């Protein structure tokens, strides 16, 4: 399905009211802008070009090596191949460092937060739309292709702009606007047996290797991938030290996960590794984990409505354990072949660091819940030690727990001071917290890319200092090594991230090639024959026909022996011109009003008759089909009506595999 079209009336305005004035076309950001992300993306584009050059050189050298039998030539080619492979390895290592760089998307604001993993955009080359579109417009639609130069130029400018979108809402709107236009193009110009004939080339976001396909679905899938990647960059840049920034980061990562999920479900035959089902599943899980991390960070922010005391610490422990569980799932997906062969090592290391870090945080907050619990909290129906899986401190079942602190101490062991069981359990959790934070610091030091991220090291070191300070405050009831082994904190969250697809409906677009007519009739999937213009006069019972529907109006019935039948009109024809004025977009009431206002001379009508799908478009007129519409328009001094903005349905134009099965081109338009 595609974004909704709205028919226009006969006096809706001129073509210039629809097309944007010169210089007002949406623009991308300056690719040479001296911003951290701009410099990073520019360098990634250069590396992509160099990788493509080296790959072509390697292909040529391999072909020469196989074709020649000269020993000296084979030796020279083998030496050259070793140099090319070394250069490729260096370029891929540089691209991996660029993909793993966290400095370009450091969070805004002064708060110290853990860095996130953003995804770089896919690069593409310029594309010439004019040749195939002109051939289709003149050959299939029977229109003068020269009159559509403005529309073709507008489409080319829009595609050029999406190559360098700004890193914000304006960039998202730009990508979504182009995606919606691709849905229109898919519905109008593409058939299951014929493509546009263009070769779409996009560079893999992770490996830099170019991939090519002639299917428009590949272009749509690559744009949707960039929408998800841009959401990751927006989420990584948010200032998560305030509630609003945390909310925006959660929303961005949920939208990114939704974009990758939508792409995975509808694009089963990926020509590049970054769009394979395994990679998209990994990215979806990674974005879900990052959204869960933002939810946890939101709980740490001071709020008057937030719960206090032991139960608050217990909730933080379970939320941190949930974040660690999500990152462990992300690490498992990264470690599976073939994803592990091209995912950046910095990503894998950072995900492991975060899994250890948040697992340690869960034990830290569990220790705080145990050590700071009050008598009322310990004797409540769900005390901290029961939720964490520790032995209860009360007597046998049915025994009334003492209400006084001294009675609780006597049941726990008869000592003075803190309750020994809770204290030992708290120290055991602190031990695991310290060990986990030390392991996170060790993993951080192993990665060359992560060592340069001072912000991450500061967060890890600060958490370790807090754990050590908290442990030193506990009473030395037992030696550290004699502390019991703390069980794992059960993961639980009160706010699970939602995988939300990008909201295409908020970007209103109009079909650039709106003048060709409604998509229900005037598309490459249909063939038709032009009839007329014919003169129809009013008889005693009217014109002798029944009309139905809007844009275009359908001749539902023709009265035998009436004026319409005498003029050659047939049931099932569509009225496309009335008295020389194109009316493909007119509503039923507007056409009826024009017919009722006709005088004794009658009206001049042009219609189209749909042909069977196998038949080629034909016409009795020497001009191409529907070409007379342009002549009638010029004779009457009329311009085609201006379209209204597209409706609220930004439909993606893909079929679900569950309904239609796997398709050769992927991403097929819905009926």
Q: Tens of pLDDT along 76-87? A: 878 887 777 777
pLDDT-based confidence at 263, cuts 50/70/90? very high
CA 99/CA 150 separation, integer angstroms:
38
> Measuring CA to CA, how many Å separate 381 from each of 194, 316, 378, 394, 471?
68, 19, 9, 12, 28
Whether the per-residue pLDDT at 640 is higher than 50: the answer is no
CA 278/CA 299 separation, integer angstroms:
32
436 and 463 Cβ atoms separated by less than 8 Å? no
What does the pLDDT read at residue 42?
64
Q: Over the Cα atoms of the chain, what is R_g?
A: 34
What does the pLDDT read at residue 261?
94
pLDDT-based confidence at 358, cuts 50/70/90? very high
Q: Any idea of the CA torsion for 381, 386, 391, 392, to the nearest 10 degrees?
A: -20
Q: Any idea of the CA torsion for 249, 251, 255, 258, to the nearest 10 degrees?
A: 110
pLDDT-based confidence at 26, cuts 50/70/90? low
Whether the per-residue pLDDT at 623 is higher than 50: the answer is no
CA 555/CA 567 separation, integer angstroms:
13
Whether the per-residue pLDDT at 590 is higher than 50: the answer is yes
Q: Which of 468-472, 506-510, 592-596 has the highest mean pLDDT?
A: 506-510
| Cα 74–chain centre separation | 47
High-pLDDT (> 70) share of the chain, %: 69
The H or E element containing residue 9 is none
Nearest CA to 591 out of 601, 599, 600, 579 is that of: 579
Whether the per-residue pLDDT at 330 is higher than 90: the answer is yes
First-to-last alpha carbon distance for the chain, in angstroms, is: 6
Task: Tell the residue number behind the tokens 């939810």, with chain if given.
Answer: 295
What does the pLDDT read at residue 29?
56
What does the pLDDT read at residue 225?
95
What does the pLDDT read at residue 11?
44
Averaged pLDDT, 471-484 = 59
What does the pLDDT read at residue 92?
65
List phi, psi (to 5°) of 546: -120, 130
pLDDT-based confidence at 416, cuts 50/70/90? very low
Whether the per-residue pLDDT at 68 is higher than 60: the answer is yes
List phi, psi (to 5°) of 664: -65, -45
pTM score of the predicted model: 0.75
Averaged pLDDT, 261-270 = 86
Contacts of residues 328-332 at CB distance under 8 Å and 24 or more positions apart, as own/partner, are 328/355, 329/285, 329/289, 330/282, 330/285, 330/286, 330/288, 330/289, 331/355
Q: Any idea of the CA torsion for 559, 565, 566, 568, to the nearest 10 degrees?
A: 170
Whether the per-residue pLDDT at 378 is higher than 90: the answer is no
What does the pLDDT read at residue 404?
34
What does the pLDDT read at residue 656?
38
- The overall average pLDDT reported for the chain is 75
| Cα 383–chain centre separation | 43
Q: Tens of pLDDT along 168-197? A: 899 999 999 999 999 999 999 988 887 888
Q: Tens of pLDDT along 592-606? A: 888 887 777 788 888
Averaged pLDDT, 10-34 = 45
CA 396/CA 6 separation, integer angstroms:
74
Q: In the chain, count of helices (H) and strands (E)?
A: 21, 9
CA 384/CA 406 separation, integer angstroms:
20
Q: Which residue has the higher pLDDT, 171 or 457?
A: 171
Q: Which residue has the higher pLDDT, 436 or 20?
A: 436
Length, in residues, of the chain: 671
What does the pLDDT read at residue 73?
81
> Measuring CA to CA, how many Å separate 222 from each of 162, 244, 321, 661?
11, 31, 35, 21
pLDDT-based confidence at 646, cuts 50/70/90? very low
């Amino acid at each position: 399905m595609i974004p909704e079209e709205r028919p226009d009336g006969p006096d809706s305005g001129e073509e210039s009211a629809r097309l944007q004035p010169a210089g007002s076309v949406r623009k991308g950001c300056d690719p040479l802008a001296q911003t951290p992300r701009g410099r990073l993306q520019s360098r990634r584009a250069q590396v992509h070009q160099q990788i493509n050059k080296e790959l072509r050189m390697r292909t040529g050298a391999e072909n020469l090596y196989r074709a020649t039998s000269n020993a000296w030539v084979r030796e020279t080619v083998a030496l050259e191949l070793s140099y090319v492979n070394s250069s490729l390895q260096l370029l891929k290592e540089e691209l991996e460092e660029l993909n793993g760089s966290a400095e370009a998307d450091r969070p805004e604001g002064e708060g110290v937060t853990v860095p996130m993993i953003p995804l770089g955009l896919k690069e593409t080359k310029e594309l010439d739309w004019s040749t195939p579109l002109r051939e289709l417009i003149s050959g299939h639609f029977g229109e003068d292709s020269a009159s559509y130069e403005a529309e073709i130029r507008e489409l080319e400018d829009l595609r050029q702009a999406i190559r360098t979108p700004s890193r914000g809402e304006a960039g998202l709107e730009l990508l979504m606007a182009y995606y919606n236009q691709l849905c229109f193009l898919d519905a109008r110009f593409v058939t299951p047996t014929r493509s546009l004939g263009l070769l779409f080339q996009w560079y893999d976001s992770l490996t830099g290797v170019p991939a090519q396909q002639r299917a428009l679905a590949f272009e749509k899938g690559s744009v949707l991938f960039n929408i998800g990647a841009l959401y990751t960059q927006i989420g990584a840049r948010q200032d998560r030290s305030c509630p609003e920034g945390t909310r925006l980061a959660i929303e961005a990562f949920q939208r990114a996960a939704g974009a990758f999920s939508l792409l995975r479900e509808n694009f089963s035959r990926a020509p590049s590794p970054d769009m394979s089902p395994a990679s998209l599943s990994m990215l979806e899980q990674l974005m879900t984990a990052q959204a869960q991390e933002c939810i946890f960070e939101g709980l740490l922010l001071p709020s008057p409505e937030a719960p206090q005391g032991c139960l608050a610490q217990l909730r933080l422990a379970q939320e941190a354990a949930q974040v660690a569980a999500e990152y462990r799932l992300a690490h498992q997906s990264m470690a599976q072949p073939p994803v592990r062969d091209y995912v950046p090592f910095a990503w894998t290391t950072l995900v492991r660091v975060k899994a250890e870090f948040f697992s340690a945080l869960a034990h830290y907050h569990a220790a705080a819940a145990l050590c700071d619990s009050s008598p009322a909290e310990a004797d409540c129906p769900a005390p901290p030690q029961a939720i964490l899986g520790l032995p209860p401190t009360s007597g046998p079942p049915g025994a009334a727990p003492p209400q006084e602190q001294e009675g609780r101490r006597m049941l726990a062991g008869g000592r003075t001071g803190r309750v020994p069981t809770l204290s030992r359990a708290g120290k055991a959790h602190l031990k695991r917290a310290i060990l986990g934070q030390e392991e996170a610091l060790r993993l951080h030091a192993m990665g060359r890319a992560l060592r340069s991220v001072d912000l991450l090291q500061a967060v890890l070191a600060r958490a370790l200092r807090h754990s050590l300070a908290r442990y030193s405050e506990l009473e030395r009831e037992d030696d550290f090594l004699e502390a019991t082994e703390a069980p794992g904190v059960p993961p639980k969250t009160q706010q699970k991230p939602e995988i939300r697809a990008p909201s295409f409906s908020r970007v209103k677009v109009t079909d650039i090639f709106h003048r060709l007519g409604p998509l229900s009739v005037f598309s490459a999937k249909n063939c038709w024959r032009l009839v007329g213009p014919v003169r129809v006069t009013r008889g005693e019972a009217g014109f002798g026909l029944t009309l139905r529907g809007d844009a275009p109006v359908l001749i539902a019935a023709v009265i035998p022996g009436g004026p319409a039948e005498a003029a050659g009109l047939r049931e099932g024809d569509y009225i496309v011109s009335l008295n020389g004025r194109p009316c493909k977009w007119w509503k039923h009431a507007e056409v009826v009003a024009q017919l009722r206002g006709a005088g004794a001379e009658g009206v001049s009508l042009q219609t189209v008759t749909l042909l069977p799908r196998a038949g080629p478009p034909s016409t009795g007129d020497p001009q191409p089909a529907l070409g007379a519409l342009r002549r009638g328009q010029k004779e009457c001094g009329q311009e085609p009506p201006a379209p209204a903005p597209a409706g609220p349905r930004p439909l993606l134009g893909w079929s679900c595999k569950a309904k239609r099965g796997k398709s050769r081109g992927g991403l097929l338009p819905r009926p």
